[in-house]
């Protein structure tokens, strides 16, 4: 094990009913880095993310965070280490943004208790960190999809995690908000020394914003495994790998020293 | 600067409003003590209460003391217990189910209670009615819960469907009893199903109060957890909540509280649905406020409605009929306002 | 409205009597008779009527009293059968051979009813076209006689009509005389009582706060037993209903001297006097003085049958004990059973 290892995924396999989704996935992720997972719809990105967060139990294999196996930890212990931002989130009740974010303090609040001053402070810090202090008193049901994404990130940051998992954080956002959100995530990772694992559907974003990329493919009954490539962006995202993952022909262009994926 | 002052004003208004809702049971209680078909004037009432408190002899006929302390007071307290219990239970279950149209009766509690009461009334006369109602309401909710449980998880949608099934099964069982019994028993079954406080007594208060008190304390202590739950199950688990444990605790507590009052007062409709909803409309969905205010507003609401039931006509109108007639339009309004009942 | 209905019913009864012999002939030369039921509806039945089904048990007691045992073809549900059936068996050796028609969810099983091949079906009914009436008349083409007793006069008329349809008017007259004679034993004592002597009585049905309104047989019973129904003192207009409900504060205010409970398996007078659910009742005179009574034996205390004078005597003796010291209830009960059914009570041995 590397000293700076944050997360290790060890031979994880998972099936829903008879259809196998993940087969022997192993990853070793360094502390403080930004990892993106890309791959076609249904290849198992969300499933893997949930397994890492112990929301799903894999059929086989184990996941370690900071050297400890996730499913051996009490839930609130794990929640102090790991925050999770689900994909596109809806709620039925018009909670205030602040009340949503403060639920991230859950792992620190004893059973018969409510948030205290310290929790309120941490909540305010998370709001500031994600730049939504101005929304604090607004109703969650009345803000935009992009703002909601930020609220959920703030909620996860209120957990004071060392690992942040995000499932397609850009999927409901417009062009500008996609870029702003990804920049912010990267900034949070750098300033807070937080390991980020996020799934993305645009390989170009992965090229731009990640330290390392996991490129996944659908199993479709094959035994070749899910992981096509795992490494620095320009090594993982090559025309050949993209072809293997998506079945699409692309070429890599370079503009002002930055790589860009162009479909043919 | 102006904005700040405005928001501070708003803040104050809100505090004022919250305090009002929190203290509402007090004036509701005082008003109700003054209402009744037996003529007791304000000064007489004061004297009756004063003589009890001070322990000196009442200068009025003893019947005044009986009317106030053995008829009016237990009925008022029972109305408050029932209103509080149904409302807090409704608010809790709405949070767990993340649906504002859920009532304490969603998991088959009322049909189980109705069946148990009918069973005690007609088939097993040795069984106290309250015991029949209480045990069968728990049995109904328990079986809905177990039916919905798979691999240690109890998905909300399965719970709702199981509740529907359990309700219809107990409804059918009740129908069998109703077919088999004579007209007079049938009448008392129907009457019980409408819910009434007219047979209130200290012993009923004593029977329901401990459950309600303990249940309300638990729900109040855990109320912030409902905020976490109300955001969604996965969301709750990802912040480290032991989801199934809390769901279990909340469902058990909400059920015990509601069953305890249903077993002494019958099925009083729609209180558990509309009171939490009204509170939410004014004070927002934060359960830290919603839960205690549902309790106080629910207690006040039902005791005031029961004032109408017991004093407006001098003959008895079952209070359940009034709450249902009042509640139905509110419910329809909510149904329309929330679109498709809020299910997703 | 009710008065007019009664008047019409009376007319319907008197007119045929005035102008007609009891029976006429139909087009086929079969004898038929016209009668009017408690709903005020006139029906035609064969004369004499040989096969009658009683879906209402209390009216069957009248039929037995007027000597119509052989005219009973079928019997519906009987309340407290362990108590009543021995009586019927003692009067009627053919009782166990009669077709028994059970009810299923308020509806009569028509096929079993058809087995009895009735010429007339007697049932409890307030309404001319309730579901049971309709289904019997439409499907079996058999007339129905609706029984609805809300006064003692209804019972006298019932004996008269039942005598007519089986062609035994003379026995019917005897039965009416028996009822009148027993009733008179109470009236002779109470006639000397002044209004101020009469206790205020609260009648308690099984629902506890439901009582006998001013238009009810129980009300008539209270009055004939020389009591005053507390409903007389109630200001609410629902008091004229058959079964009004009041609230406890109103009852305490009405303050009855006597509480008279209908037969109640869940509740005894002791519960009302000292039960923990009845603390609010303790200042009521009846409770303070321990004057809470319950109907002990609904076979004897049955005021929807010709035995109603017994109910009257029992109640009269309980609510006015000093006036009826000399009335021996056991003797009266036995005598009346002998007079009505020629059997002794208790035991139902032939007289
Ligand atoms: N709870 C489930 N039950 C059955 N199949 C599921 C479930 N969740 C996901 N799947 C299936 O598993 C596959 C992988 O899903 P997911 O991990 O969400 O993929 P991705 O996030 O990469 O799009 C999909 O084919 C999906 O239909
Ligand atoms: Mg996904």
Q: Is residue B7, in this structure, part of any structural domain at all?
A: no
Decide if C58 contacts C304 (C-beta within 8 A). Answer: yes
Averaged pLDDT score across all residues of chain B: 88
B111 preceded by a cis bond (ω within 30 of 0): no
Q: Is residue B46, in this structure, part of any structural domain at all?
A: no
pLDDT band at B340 (very low <50, low <70, confident <90, very high): very low
Q: For residue C200, give every residue at least 6 positions away whose Cβ sits within 8 Å of its Cβ, in sequence order, or none.
A: C227, C228, C229, C230, C233, C254, C255, C256, C257, C258, C285
pLDDT in tens, C246-261: 989 999 999 999 999 9
Decide if C135 contacts C108 (C-beta within 8 A). Answer: yes
H-helix or E-strand spanning residue C244: none
Q: Is residue B178, in this structure, part of any structural domain at all?
A: yes
Residue by residue, pLDDT tens for chain A (264 residues) are 444 678 999 999 999 988 999 999 999 999 999 999 999 999 999 999 999 999 999 999 999 998 899 999 999 999 999 999 999 777 778 999 999 999 999 999 998 999 999 999 999 999 999 999 999 999 998 898 889 999 999 999 999 999 999 999 998 888 998 999 999 999 999 999 999 999 998 999 999 999 999 999 998 877 778 899 999 999 999 999 999 999 999 999 988 888 888 988
Tell me if chain A has a CB within 8 Å of the CB of B235.
Answer: yes
Decide if C74 contacts C118 (C-beta within 8 A). Answer: yes
Q: Whole-angstrom Cα distance, residue C205 to residue C217?
A: 13
Compute φ and ψ for A20, nearest 5 degrees. -80, 130
Q: Is the pLDDT of residue B125 over 90?
A: no
* Nearest listed ligand to the Cα of residue A167: 2
Percent of chain C with pLDDT over 70: 91
Q: Whole-angstrom Cα distance, residue C309 to residue C316?
A: 10
Answer whether 0.90 is exceeded by the pTM: no
Which residue, judged by its Cα, is nearest atom 9 of ligand 1? A47
Q: What's the token pair of residue C85?
A: 């059936």
Residues B66, C253: C-beta atoms closer than 8 Å: no
Percent of chain B with pLDDT over 70: 93
Residue in C190, C46, C13, C29 with CA at minimum distance from that of residue C120: C46
Q: What is the ipTM of this complex?
A: 0.92
Question: Which residues constitute the domain of residue B172?
Answer: 20-27+74-337
Predicted local confidence at residue C115, as pLDDT: 86
Decide if C259 contacts C202 (C-beta within 8 A). Answer: yes
Domain C2-173 has CATH 3.40.50.1980: yes
Residue in B228, B288, B222, B286 with CA at minimum distance from that of residue B257: B222
C-alpha C200 – ligand 2 centre gap (Å): 80
Which residue, judged by its Cα, is nearest atom 3 of ligand 1? A16
**Rounded to 5 degrees, what angle do the CA atoms A221, A226, A227 make?**
155
Radius of gyration of chain C (CA): 21
Predicted local confidence at residue C104, as pLDDT: 64
pLDDT in tens, C149-179: 888 899 999 999 999 999 999 999 999 999 9
Q: What's the token pair of residue B252?
A: 């058990």
**Which residues in chain B have Cβ-Cβ distances shorter than 8 Å to C79?**
182
**Which residues in chain C have Cβ-Cβ distances shorter than 8 Å to B178?**
105
Tell which atom from ligand 1 comes closest to the C-alpha of A43: 22
Q: Which domains does chain A have, with CATH numbers?
A: 3-263 (3.40.50.300)
Averaged pLDDT for residues C40-64: 92
Decide if C213 contacts C197 (C-beta within 8 A). Answer: no
* Beta-sheet pairing, A212-216 with A227-231: antiparallel
Q: What's the token pair of residue B246?
A: 């809390």
Q: Which CATH number fits the domain that encloses residue B117?
A: 1.10.3470.10
pLDDT band at C109 (very low <50, low <70, confident <90, very high): confident
Strand positions, DSSP E, C206-298: 228-229, 258-261, 292-294
Predicted local confidence at residue C283, as pLDDT: 92
Give the least confident one: A119-128, B295-304, C283-292, C320-329: C320-329
Q: Whole-angstrom Cα distance, residue A250 to residue A241?
A: 10
Residue in A74, A102, A100, A84 with CA at minimum distance from that of residue A48: A84
B335 preceded by a cis bond (ω within 30 of 0): no
Predicted local confidence at residue C5, as pLDDT: 60
Evaluate whether C2-173 and C186-341 have a shared fold: yes
Give how far Cα B275 sits from Cα of B278, B340, B341, C41, Å.
Answer: 5, 20, 17, 52
Predicted local confidence at residue C4, as pLDDT: 62
Nearest CA in chain B to A105: B239
Give the least confident one: B169-173, B192-196, C193-197: B192-196
pLDDT in tens, B145-165: 999 988 878 888 899 999 999
Strand order in the sheet with C292-294: C228-229, C200-204, C258-261, C292-294
Q: Whole-angstrom Cα distance, residue C154 to residue C163?
A: 14
Handedness of CA B119, B121, B127, B131 (dihedral sign): positive
Averaged pLDDT for residues C301-310: 94
In chain C, domain spans: 2-173, 186-341
Q: Whole-angstrom Cα distance, residue C96 to residue B331?
A: 56
Predicted local confidence at residue C21, as pLDDT: 42
* Nearest listed ligand to the Cα of residue A50: 1
Most B CBs within 10 Å: which of A71, A93, A105, A156, as the mutation test of the B interface? A93
Crossing angle of helices B319-338 and B271-283, in 10° steps, is: 50
Domain total of chain B = 1
pLDDT in tens, C2-21: 566 665 655 555 554 444 44
Neighbours of C157 (CB within 10 A): 19
Q: Whole-angstrom Cα distance, residue B219 to residue B209?
A: 15
**Which residues in chain C have Cβ-Cβ distances shorter than 8 Å to B66?**
252, 279-280, 282-283
Predicted local confidence at residue C20, as pLDDT: 46
Residue in C298, C254, C251 with CA at minimum distance from that of residue C278: C251
Neighbours of B57 (CB within 10 A): 8
pLDDT band at B166 (very low <50, low <70, confident <90, very high): very high
Say which CATH class C186-341 falls into. alpha beta
Nearest CA in chain B to C104: B179
pLDDT in tens, B196-212: 888 889 999 999 999 99
Nearest by CB to residue C244, choosing from B36, B184, B315, is: B315
Which residue, judged by its Cα, is nearest atom 4 of ligand 1? A16
Q: Is C266 exposed, middle or buried (0-12, 13-18, 19+ CB in 10 A)?
A: middle
């Amino acid at each position: 094990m590397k000293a700076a290892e944050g997360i290790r995924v060890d031979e994880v396999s998972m099936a829903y009913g008879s259809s196998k989704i993940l087969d022997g996935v192993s990853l070793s992720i360094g502390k403080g880095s930004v990892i993106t997972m890309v791959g076609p719809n249904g290849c198992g990105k969300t499933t893997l993310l949930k397994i890492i967060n112990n929301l799903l139990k894999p059929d086989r294999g184990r996941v370690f965070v900071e050297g400890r196996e996730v499913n051996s930890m009490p839930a609130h212990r794990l929640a102090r280490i790991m925050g999770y931002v689900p994909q596109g989130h809806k709620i039925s009740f018009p909670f205030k943004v602040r009340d949503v974010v403060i639920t991230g303090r859950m792992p620190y609040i004893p059973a018969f208790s409510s948030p205290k001053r310290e929790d309120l402070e941490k909540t305010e810090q998370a709001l500031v960190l994600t730049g939504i202090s101005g929304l604090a008193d607004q109703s969650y049901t009345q803000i935009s999809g992009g703002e909601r994404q930020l609220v959920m990130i703030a909620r996860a940051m209120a957990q004071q995690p060392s690992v942040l998992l995000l499932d397609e954080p850009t999927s409901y956002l417009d062009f500008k908000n996609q870029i702003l959100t990804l920049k912010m995530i990267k900034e949070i990772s750098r300033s807070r020394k937080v390991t980020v694992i996020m799934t993305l559907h645009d390989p170009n974003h992965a090229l731009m914003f990640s330290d390392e990329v996991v490129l996944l493919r659908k199993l479709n009954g094959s035994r070749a495994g899910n992981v096509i490539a795992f490494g620095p962006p320009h090594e993982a995202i090559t025309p050949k790998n993209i072809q293997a993952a998506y079945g699409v022909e692309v070429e890599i262009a370079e503009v002002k020293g930055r790589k860009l994926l162009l479909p043919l | 600067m102006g904005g700040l002052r405005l928001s501070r004003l708003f803040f104050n208004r809100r505090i004022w409003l919250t305090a009002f809702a929190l203290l509402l049971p007090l004036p509701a209680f005082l008003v109700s003590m003054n209402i009744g078909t037996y003529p007791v004037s304000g000064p007489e009432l004061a004297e009756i209460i004063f003589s009890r408190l001070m322990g000196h002899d009442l200068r009025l006929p003893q019947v005044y003391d009986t009317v106030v302390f053995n008829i009016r007071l237990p009925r008022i307290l029972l109305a408050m217990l029932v209103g509080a219990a149904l409302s807090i239970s409704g608010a809790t279950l709405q949070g767990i189910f993340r649906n504002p149209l859920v009532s304490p009766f969603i998991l088959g509690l009322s049909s189980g209670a109705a069946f148990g009461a009918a069973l005690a009334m007609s088939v097993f006369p040795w069984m106290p009615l309250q015991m029949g109602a209480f045990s069968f309401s728990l049995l109904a909710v328990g079986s809905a819960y177990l039916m919905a449980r798979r691999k240690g998880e109890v998905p909300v949608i399965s719970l709702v469907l199981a509740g529907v099934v359990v309700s219809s099964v107990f409804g059918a069982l009740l129908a069998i009893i109703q077919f088999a019994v004579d007209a007079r028993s049938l009448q008392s079954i129907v009457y019980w199903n409408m819910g009434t406080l007219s047979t209130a007594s200290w012993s009923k208060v004593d029977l329901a109060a401990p459950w309600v008190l303990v249940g309300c304390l638990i729900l109040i202590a855990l109320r912030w957890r409902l905020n976490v739950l109300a955001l969604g199950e996965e969301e709750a688990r990802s912040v480290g909540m032991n989801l199934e444990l809390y769901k279990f605790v909340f469902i058990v507590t909400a059920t015990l509280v509601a069953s305890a009052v249903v077993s002494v007062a019958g099925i009083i409709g729609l209180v558990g649905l509309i009171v939490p909803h009204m509170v939410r409309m004014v004070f927002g969905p934060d359960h830290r406020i919603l839960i205690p205010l549902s309790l106080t507003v629910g207690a006040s609401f039902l005791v005031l409605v029961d004032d109408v039931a017991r004093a407006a006509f001098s003959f008895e109108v079952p209070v359940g009929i009034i709450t249902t007639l009042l509640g139905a339009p509110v419910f329809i309004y909510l149904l329309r306002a929330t679109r498709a009942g809020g299910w997703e | 409205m009710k008065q007019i209905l009664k008047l019409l019913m009376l007319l319907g009864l008197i007119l045929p009597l005035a102008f007609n012999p009891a029976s006429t002939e139909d087009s086929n030369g079969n004898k038929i008779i016209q009668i009017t039921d408690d709903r005020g509806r006139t029906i035609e039945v064969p004369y004499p009527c040989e096969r009658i089904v009683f879906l209402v048990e209390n009216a069957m007691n009248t039929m037995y009293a007027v000597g119509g045992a052989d005219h009973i073809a079928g019997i519906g549900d009987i309340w407290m059968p362990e108590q009543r059936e021995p009586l019927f068996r003692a009067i009627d050796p053919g009782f166990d051979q009669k077709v028994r028609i059970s009810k299923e969810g308020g509806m009569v099983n028509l096929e079993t009813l058809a087995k009895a091949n009735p010429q007339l079906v007697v049932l409890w009914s307030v309404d001319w076209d309730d579901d049971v009436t309709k289904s019997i008349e439409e499907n079996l083409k058999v007339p129905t006689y609706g029984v609805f007793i809300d006064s003692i006069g209804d019972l006298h008329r019932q004996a008269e009509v039942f005598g007519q349809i089986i062609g035994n008017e003379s026995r019917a007259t005897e039965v009416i005389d028996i009822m009148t004679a027993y009733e008179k034993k109470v009236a002779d004592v109470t006639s000397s009582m002044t209004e101020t002597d009469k206790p205020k009585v609260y009648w308690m049905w099984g629902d506890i706060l439901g009582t006998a309104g001013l238009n009810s047989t129980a009300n008539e019973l209270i009055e004939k037993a020389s009591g005053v129904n507390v409903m007389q003192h109630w200001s609410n207009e629902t008091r004229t209903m058959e079964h009004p409900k009041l609230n406890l504060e109103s009852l305490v205010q009405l303050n009855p001297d006597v509480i008279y409970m209908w037969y109640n398996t869940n509740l005894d007078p002791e519960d009302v006097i000292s039960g923990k659910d009845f603390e609010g009742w303790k200042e009521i005179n009846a409770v303070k003085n321990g004057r809470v009574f319950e109907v002990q034996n609904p076979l004897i205390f049955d005021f929807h049958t010709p035995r109603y004078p017994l109910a009257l005597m029992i109640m009269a003796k309980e609510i006015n004990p000093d006036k009826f010291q000399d009335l021996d209830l056991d003797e009266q009960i036995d005598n009346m059973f002998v007079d009505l059914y020629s059997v002794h009570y208790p035991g139902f041995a032939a007289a």
